[in-house]
Structure 1
Amino acid sequence: MSKQAMSKPGSPQAASHQQAFDEPLWWGLFSAGGVCFAVLLPAVILFIGVLLPLGLLPADALSYERATALLFSVPGFLFVGAVVCLPLFHAAHRLRHGLFDISVGRDGFNKKLMYGAAALLSMLALGLVVAGMLS
């Protein structure tokens, strides 16, 4: 028994299009990105954008030396992965399905474009952290 995926009912594609085997992967990344976006990003904004400028945190809490030491480490790598990379895949999934809903482009192309852009930007962000760790 095969399920229909990403094809409008009654369209010519609906009869021949099989469900993509990679769809659970994209939904998993979408879910993880949404959780990280909803939980971690507000905390980052609170600490860096509100508490630090108001002087409610020690001034040296995010000095340049301390911030670079934290960012260019294994915990910094994981932090960038959770705060930057996972929300990128969340946004890519939303954009892909949004484009499908308004019938813009072909789903195969949109899928490659959105997830490819998220992957490239993720590799760039994590590559910068790794480059900082090695220098």
Structure 2
Amino acid sequence: MINQNPKRSDEPIWWGLFGAGGTWFAMITPITILVLGIIGPLGLLDADALSYDRVIDFATHILGALFVIATIALPMWHAMHRVHHGMHDLKIHTGVVGKILCYAIAFAASAMAATFIFMLG
């Protein structure tokens, strides 16, 4: 018999953020590291491309701000979800307190990233 009133779960929210963070980290972060960490320092970019004024203009534009926030926040949600479930796999059962702590850390990092970016503009 099918349960007509199943218990609601908040796991789809956390798994969604976990998936988005993992995808972002796997697809966008390597390109960001390549451009900002390798190509830029080697001098293969125009010297003005990474100037302070251009970077601030990028980070304060709404699309640039969303990019910077997503680059920080989404991998953090991914990592903290992984920590939460990793602790369970290691038989460290922290229960609801561990879950709240892990996701509070991810939320705090996301909020700090957003606050910092929006204070620039």
Q: Do the structures match in fold with TM over 0.5?
A: yes
Which residue among 107, 121, 124 is the counterpart of 2:112? 124
1:105 Cα deviation from its structure 2 partner: 3.7
Which residue among 43, 46, 53 is the counterpart of 1:58? 46
Rate the CA distance shift 1:19–1:116 in 2: closer, same or farther, 3 A: farther
- Consecutive unaligned residues of structure 2, counting only runs of 5 or more, are none
Q: Which residue in the other structure is 1:42 paired with? A: 30
Q: Is the 8 A contact 2:84 2:98 kept in 1?
A: yes
Matched, 1:86 2:86: no
Q: Which runs of 4+ in 1 moved over 6 A?
A: none
User: Structure 1 CA distance, aligned partners of 2:42 and 2:55?
Assistant: 18
1:100 Cα deviation from its structure 2 partner: 0.7
1:116 Cα deviation from its structure 2 partner: 0.5
What is the total number of aligned residue pairs between the two structures?
118
Rate the CA distance shift 1:128–1:91 in 2: closer, same or farther, 3 A: same
Percent of aligned pairs with the same amino acid: 42
- Normalising to structure 1: TM-score of the pair? 0.82
Q: Which residue in the other structure is 1:102 paired with? A: 90
Which residue among 70, 73, 77 is the counterpart of 2:61? 73
Aligned AA for 2:54? R
- Normalising to structure 2: TM-score of the pair? 0.91
Aligned AA for 2:85? H
Q: Is the 8 A contact 1:96 1:107 kept in 2?
A: no
- Consecutive unaligned residues of structure 1, counting only runs of 5 or more, are 3-17
